Amino acid sequence: MMKESSYRTGVTPVWCPGCGSFALLNALTGIVLPNLGTPGHQVFIVSGIGCSSRIPAYINAYGFNSLHGRAVLIAQGAKLANPDLTVVAIGGDGDFFSIGAGHLPHAVRRNVNITCIMVNNFVYALTKGQTSPTTPYLRRGEGPFLSLQFYPPVDPVLDMVSYSVSTGASFIAQGITADVPHLGWLIQEAIKHRGFSFINVLTPCVTFEPPQFFKTIREKASYLKEGEPVELPDSSREQPWLHDSGNITLALKLAQTPVLEKPHIGIIFRGKES
């Protein structure tokens, strides 16, 4: 299942078979880095703590598996001190939107040229199935979506994409691990964007979510194409508009679409470069 690539190290991933993190690894080592042609020594991958954060050990580039929630700090420091490096911060939803959430708006407003990839599997998987800030909120009797979650989540979801839009991130995209070529393309665009880029990657957790959870997301996903009408959820009364990734008001509308109703895949917003 693993594509041969000179960007892979010999280390065997610890992930469960079928984990979405494999898709990210394939996208990075099989598509993004070969296409950009950046040699491994000019790339620095920094991660936090969580399943997906084990990724630096598998990529033949400079890498650092740092602390929970702090990848974006190490990444900015490295980029500021050596602007020639391509710096990518990778973490999970717990990393970016729980323990490390306070760092994100500051990274956004500094607009340091790094790429943040949030591998969003909607759950704390490494610690065995606890709710994360992105776990869908369920009313009693509606779930549970999460197989091992004894108590259903009671707090509303922290909507990470809207958050990035509202803090003014200069490049915001949403990808899905079910489509590796498209994910690879998105990451390339993010890296090429000169400024802070944030990509929310919709990912299944094959162990702590029932299969229908990600299946729903995958089936309802729709691709954003510049200049073409956007698809809206059935519940929406709005007229579809033509996608314009330069329009922040429209970007916020896209971001606010509930992910279980209509996940928009593509570049949501592309703003000013630094």
Restricted to residues 54-73, the positions that interact with another protein (CB under 8 A) are 54, 56-57, 59-67, 70, 73
Whichever of 84 and 238 has its CB closer to another protein, that residue is: 84
Q: Does 8 bind another protein (CB under 8 A)?
A: no
Say which residues have a Cβ less than 8 Å from residue 104's Cβ, sequence separation at least 6. Answer: 72, 96, 97, 116, 163, 164, 167, 198
223 binds another protein (CB under 8 A): no
Q: Which is nearer to another protein, 58 or 185 (CB)?
A: 58
Enter the DSSP assignment of 131: E
Report yes or no: 44 and 64 within 8 Å, Cβ to Cβ. yes
The distance of closest approach from Cβ of residue 10 to another protein in the complex, given in angstroms and rounded to an integer, is 9
Question: How many Cβ atoms are within 10 Å of 109's Cβ, its own excluded?
Answer: 13
Q: Which of residues 22-61 bind another protein (CB under 8 A)?
A: 39-42, 44-46, 49, 54, 56-57, 59-61
- CA–CA distance, 77 with 208 (Å, rounded to integer): 34
Contact between 84 and another protein by CB under 8 A: the answer reads: yes
Task: Look up residue 35 and give its two tokens.
Answer: 């296409």
Q: Give the nearest distance from C-beta 1 to another protein in angstroms.
A: 21
CB-nearer residue toward another protein: 57 or 252: 57
**Cα separation of 180 and 59, whole Å?**
17
3-state secondary structure of 258: coil
Question: Interface with another protein by CB under 8 A: which residues?
Answer: 9, 11, 39-42, 44-46, 49, 54, 56-57, 59-67, 70, 73-82, 84-85, 102-103, 106, 110
